[in-house]
Amino acid sequence: MADHANLVRFEVTGGIATVTLASPANRNALSAALRSELSAALDAAATDDKVRVVLLSHTGPVFCSGMNLKEEAAEPGRQGVRELPGILHRISRCPKPVVARVGGPARAGGIGILAAADIVVAAPSATFAFSEVRIGLIPAVISVPVLQRVTPSAARELLLTGAVFSAARALEIGLVNAVAEDLDGAVAGYLRDLLAGGPGALAGTKAMLRDLDDSAEHYDRLLAISAAQFASAEAREGALSFREKRPAGWVR
Protein backbone atom coordinates (compact mmCIF):
# COMPACT_ATOMS: atom_id res chain seq x y z
CA MET A 1 0.00 0.00 0.00
CA ALA A 2 1.27 3.47 -0.83
CA ASP A 3 2.30 5.44 2.22
CA HIS A 4 -0.56 7.60 3.41
CA ALA A 5 0.01 11.27 4.03
CA ASN A 6 -0.49 11.96 7.69
CA LEU A 7 -3.28 10.43 9.66
CA VAL A 8 -2.62 6.67 9.54
CA ARG A 9 0.77 5.01 9.24
CA PHE A 10 1.21 1.54 7.77
CA GLU A 11 4.34 -0.58 8.08
CA VAL A 12 5.07 -4.28 7.62
CA THR A 13 8.03 -5.77 9.46
CA GLY A 14 8.66 -9.40 10.35
CA GLY A 15 5.16 -10.50 9.46
CA ILE A 16 3.54 -7.78 11.59
CA ALA A 17 1.53 -5.00 9.97
CA THR A 18 1.51 -2.00 12.29
CA VAL A 19 -1.43 0.33 11.67
CA THR A 20 -0.90 3.53 13.64
CA LEU A 21 -3.46 6.25 14.24
CA ALA A 22 -1.31 9.34 13.80
CA SER A 23 -3.57 12.35 14.30
CA PRO A 24 -2.67 13.40 17.85
CA ALA A 25 -3.63 17.03 17.28
CA ASN A 26 -7.30 16.04 17.42
CA ARG A 27 -6.83 13.05 19.75
CA ASN A 28 -6.95 10.59 16.88
CA ALA A 29 -10.61 11.41 16.30
CA LEU A 30 -12.32 9.49 13.53
CA SER A 31 -12.44 12.24 10.94
CA ALA A 32 -13.46 11.49 7.37
CA ALA A 33 -9.82 11.49 6.26
CA LEU A 34 -8.68 9.24 9.09
CA ARG A 35 -11.56 6.80 8.48
CA SER A 36 -10.59 6.56 4.83
CA GLU A 37 -6.92 5.99 5.57
CA LEU A 38 -7.65 3.52 8.35
CA SER A 39 -9.92 1.48 6.07
CA ALA A 40 -7.26 1.41 3.37
CA ALA A 41 -4.57 0.32 5.83
CA LEU A 42 -6.73 -2.47 7.24
CA ASP A 43 -7.53 -3.66 3.71
CA ALA A 44 -3.84 -3.69 2.88
CA ALA A 45 -3.02 -5.71 5.99
CA ALA A 46 -5.77 -8.23 5.29
CA THR A 47 -4.67 -8.89 1.71
CA ASP A 48 -0.88 -8.82 2.09
CA ASP A 49 0.46 -12.38 2.19
CA LYS A 50 3.52 -11.19 4.11
CA VAL A 51 1.29 -10.06 6.99
CA ARG A 52 0.50 -12.64 9.66
CA VAL A 53 -0.55 -10.39 12.56
CA VAL A 54 -1.94 -6.85 12.70
CA LEU A 55 -1.00 -4.38 15.43
CA LEU A 56 -3.32 -1.41 15.88
CA SER A 57 -1.51 1.39 17.72
CA HIS A 58 -1.45 5.18 18.03
CA THR A 59 0.75 8.22 18.40
CA GLY A 60 0.16 10.86 21.06
CA PRO A 61 -1.39 10.43 24.49
CA VAL A 62 -4.89 9.40 23.29
CA PHE A 63 -5.73 6.10 21.59
CA CYS A 64 -8.90 7.39 19.92
CA SER A 65 -11.49 9.92 21.04
CA GLY A 66 -14.27 8.59 18.80
CA MET A 67 -16.03 10.40 15.97
CA ASN A 68 -14.78 13.87 15.08
CA LEU A 69 -17.66 15.86 16.58
CA LYS A 70 -16.41 19.21 15.30
CA GLU A 71 -16.56 17.82 11.79
CA GLU A 72 -19.97 16.27 12.44
CA ALA A 73 -21.32 19.57 13.82
CA ALA A 74 -20.01 21.46 10.79
CA GLU A 75 -21.63 18.95 8.40
CA PRO A 76 -24.67 17.63 10.29
CA GLY A 77 -25.99 15.65 7.33
CA ARG A 78 -22.77 13.76 6.73
CA GLN A 79 -23.15 11.24 9.60
CA GLY A 80 -19.70 9.69 9.48
CA VAL A 81 -20.97 6.96 11.80
CA ARG A 82 -22.31 5.26 8.67
CA GLU A 83 -18.72 4.30 7.81
CA LEU A 84 -18.01 2.79 11.22
CA PRO A 85 -19.50 -0.69 10.59
CA GLY A 86 -17.13 -1.13 7.67
CA ILE A 87 -14.14 -0.34 9.87
CA LEU A 88 -15.32 -2.66 12.64
CA HIS A 89 -15.87 -5.43 10.09
CA ARG A 90 -12.37 -4.94 8.71
CA ILE A 91 -10.97 -5.52 12.19
CA SER A 92 -13.23 -8.32 13.43
CA ARG A 93 -13.25 -10.21 10.11
CA CYS A 94 -9.60 -9.72 9.28
CA PRO A 95 -8.17 -13.20 8.58
CA LYS A 96 -5.12 -12.25 10.62
CA PRO A 97 -5.23 -11.75 14.42
CA VAL A 98 -5.51 -8.09 15.42
CA VAL A 99 -3.87 -6.77 18.59
CA ALA A 100 -4.81 -3.32 19.89
CA ARG A 101 -2.18 -1.40 21.84
CA VAL A 102 -3.97 1.17 24.00
CA GLY A 103 -1.55 3.59 25.62
CA GLY A 104 -4.09 6.28 26.51
CA PRO A 105 -7.75 7.22 26.71
CA ALA A 106 -10.35 5.67 24.42
CA ARG A 107 -13.82 7.10 24.05
CA ALA A 108 -17.03 6.13 22.23
CA GLY A 109 -16.17 4.91 18.72
CA GLY A 110 -12.56 4.47 19.79
CA ILE A 111 -13.71 1.79 22.21
CA GLY A 112 -15.60 0.12 19.37
CA ILE A 113 -12.40 -0.10 17.37
CA LEU A 114 -10.38 -1.70 20.15
CA ALA A 115 -13.27 -3.99 21.13
CA ALA A 116 -13.34 -5.39 17.59
CA ALA A 117 -9.72 -6.51 17.95
CA ASP A 118 -8.85 -10.01 19.08
CA ILE A 119 -6.51 -9.00 21.89
CA VAL A 120 -6.39 -5.64 23.68
CA VAL A 121 -3.48 -4.56 25.86
CA ALA A 122 -3.79 -1.33 27.82
CA ALA A 123 -1.49 0.86 29.86
CA PRO A 124 -2.52 1.31 33.52
CA SER A 125 -3.11 5.01 32.84
CA ALA A 126 -5.58 4.38 30.00
CA THR A 127 -9.16 5.41 30.65
CA PHE A 128 -12.39 4.60 28.88
CA ALA A 129 -15.89 6.04 28.53
CA PHE A 130 -18.96 5.39 26.42
CA SER A 131 -19.55 9.12 26.20
CA GLU A 132 -22.29 9.01 23.56
CA VAL A 133 -25.27 9.51 25.87
CA ARG A 134 -23.71 12.63 27.35
CA ILE A 135 -23.79 14.31 23.95
CA GLY A 136 -27.21 13.02 23.03
CA LEU A 137 -26.14 10.00 20.96
CA ILE A 138 -26.69 6.24 21.14
CA PRO A 139 -23.72 3.82 21.14
CA ALA A 140 -25.61 1.51 18.78
CA VAL A 141 -23.00 0.56 16.21
CA ILE A 142 -20.16 -0.11 18.65
CA SER A 143 -22.46 -2.26 20.77
CA VAL A 144 -21.79 -5.19 18.41
CA PRO A 145 -18.14 -5.76 19.43
CA VAL A 146 -18.51 -4.23 22.90
CA LEU A 147 -21.30 -6.53 24.04
CA GLN A 148 -19.21 -9.51 22.95
CA ARG A 149 -16.58 -8.48 25.47
CA VAL A 150 -18.20 -6.64 28.36
CA THR A 151 -20.28 -8.32 31.06
CA PRO A 152 -24.01 -7.47 30.82
CA SER A 153 -24.24 -5.69 34.17
CA ALA A 154 -21.19 -3.54 33.42
CA ALA A 155 -22.51 -2.78 29.93
CA ARG A 156 -25.78 -1.46 31.37
CA GLU A 157 -23.95 0.71 33.88
CA LEU A 158 -21.27 2.12 31.65
CA LEU A 159 -23.20 2.60 28.40
CA LEU A 160 -26.05 4.32 30.24
CA THR A 161 -23.98 6.56 32.53
CA GLY A 162 -21.17 7.47 30.15
CA ALA A 163 -18.89 7.50 33.20
CA VAL A 164 -15.12 7.35 32.84
CA PHE A 165 -13.59 4.09 34.05
CA SER A 166 -10.05 2.86 34.55
CA ALA A 167 -7.93 0.28 32.80
CA ALA A 168 -8.26 -1.92 35.86
CA ARG A 169 -12.05 -1.81 35.55
CA ALA A 170 -11.78 -2.46 31.80
CA LEU A 171 -9.79 -5.60 32.60
CA GLU A 172 -12.30 -6.69 35.23
CA ILE A 173 -15.27 -6.47 32.86
CA GLY A 174 -13.49 -8.06 29.89
CA LEU A 175 -13.06 -5.02 27.67
CA VAL A 176 -9.28 -5.49 27.62
CA ASN A 177 -7.21 -8.66 27.90
CA ALA A 178 -4.27 -7.29 29.83
CA VAL A 179 -3.06 -4.18 31.63
CA ALA A 180 0.70 -3.80 31.68
CA GLU A 181 3.18 -1.25 32.98
CA ASP A 182 5.53 -2.46 30.25
CA LEU A 183 2.96 -1.97 27.51
CA ASP A 184 5.26 -2.60 24.57
CA GLY A 185 6.78 -5.67 26.24
CA ALA A 186 3.34 -7.17 26.85
CA VAL A 187 2.27 -6.43 23.28
CA ALA A 188 5.46 -8.01 21.94
CA GLY A 189 4.72 -11.16 23.94
CA TYR A 190 1.28 -11.51 22.38
CA LEU A 191 2.69 -10.88 18.92
CA ARG A 192 5.31 -13.61 19.41
CA ASP A 193 2.65 -16.07 20.51
CA LEU A 194 0.43 -15.25 17.55
CA LEU A 195 3.27 -15.54 15.05
CA ALA A 196 3.80 -19.10 16.33
CA GLY A 197 0.40 -20.11 14.94
CA GLY A 198 -0.19 -21.34 11.40
CA PRO A 199 -1.73 -18.63 9.18
CA GLY A 200 -4.50 -20.90 7.96
CA ALA A 201 -5.18 -22.20 11.45
CA LEU A 202 -5.40 -18.67 12.84
CA ALA A 203 -7.77 -17.55 10.09
CA GLY A 204 -9.95 -20.61 10.62
CA THR A 205 -9.96 -20.17 14.38
CA LYS A 206 -10.98 -16.52 14.02
CA ALA A 207 -13.86 -17.53 11.77
CA MET A 208 -14.92 -20.21 14.25
CA LEU A 209 -14.87 -17.77 17.17
CA ARG A 210 -16.97 -15.19 15.35
CA ASP A 211 -20.26 -16.61 16.59
CA LEU A 212 -22.10 -13.32 16.71
CA ASP A 213 -24.46 -11.36 14.56
CA ASP A 214 -22.18 -8.81 12.98
CA SER A 215 -23.96 -9.16 9.67
CA ALA A 216 -24.52 -6.19 7.42
CA GLU A 217 -28.24 -6.51 8.12
CA HIS A 218 -27.72 -6.24 11.89
CA TYR A 219 -25.48 -3.22 11.42
CA ASP A 220 -28.14 -1.69 9.17
CA ARG A 221 -30.71 -2.03 11.95
CA LEU A 222 -28.35 -0.42 14.45
CA LEU A 223 -27.38 2.30 12.00
CA ALA A 224 -31.03 3.24 11.65
CA ILE A 225 -31.17 3.77 15.41
CA SER A 226 -27.90 5.68 15.49
CA ALA A 227 -28.58 7.77 12.38
CA ALA A 228 -32.01 8.84 13.59
CA GLN A 229 -30.49 10.08 16.82
CA PHE A 230 -27.62 11.77 14.99
CA ALA A 231 -30.21 13.76 13.05
CA SER A 232 -32.11 14.82 16.16
CA ALA A 233 -32.14 18.25 17.81
CA GLU A 234 -30.71 16.61 20.91
CA ALA A 235 -27.65 15.38 19.02
CA ARG A 236 -27.15 18.78 17.38
CA GLU A 237 -27.20 20.41 20.80
CA GLY A 238 -24.76 17.79 22.07
CA ALA A 239 -22.32 18.45 19.22
CA LEU A 240 -22.59 22.21 19.66
CA SER A 241 -22.04 21.99 23.40
CA PHE A 242 -18.96 19.86 22.77
CA ARG A 243 -17.60 22.34 20.22
CA GLU A 244 -18.39 25.30 22.46
CA LYS A 245 -17.01 23.53 25.55
CA ARG A 246 -20.14 24.05 27.62
CA PRO A 247 -22.69 21.77 29.30
CA ALA A 248 -25.44 20.49 27.03
CA GLY A 249 -28.82 22.17 27.37
CA TRP A 250 -30.30 19.19 29.20
CA VAL A 251 -27.72 19.41 31.99
CA ARG A 252 -29.03 21.38 34.97
The residues annotated with a catalytic role in the active site are: 132
Please report, for residues 40, 107, 114, 215, 242, the alpha-carbon distance to residue 36 in angstroms, rounded to integers and kept in the order given. 6, 19, 17, 21, 24
Question: Residues 178, 121: contact at Cβ < 8 Å?
Answer: yes
- Residue of 51, 26, 36 lying closest to 5 (CA atoms): 36
In a 3-state reduction of DSSP, which class is residue 54?
strand
> What values do phi and psi take at 83, rounded to 5?
-90, -10
Element (H, E) at 58: strand 53-58
- 243: Cβ contacts below 8 Å, ≥ 6 apart: 69, 70, 73
Alpha carbons within 13 angstroms on the beta-carbon side of residue 9 total 13
> What values do phi and psi take at 74, rounded to 5?
-75, -30
**Please, what is the Cα angle at 32 between 30 and 36, to 5 degrees?**
95
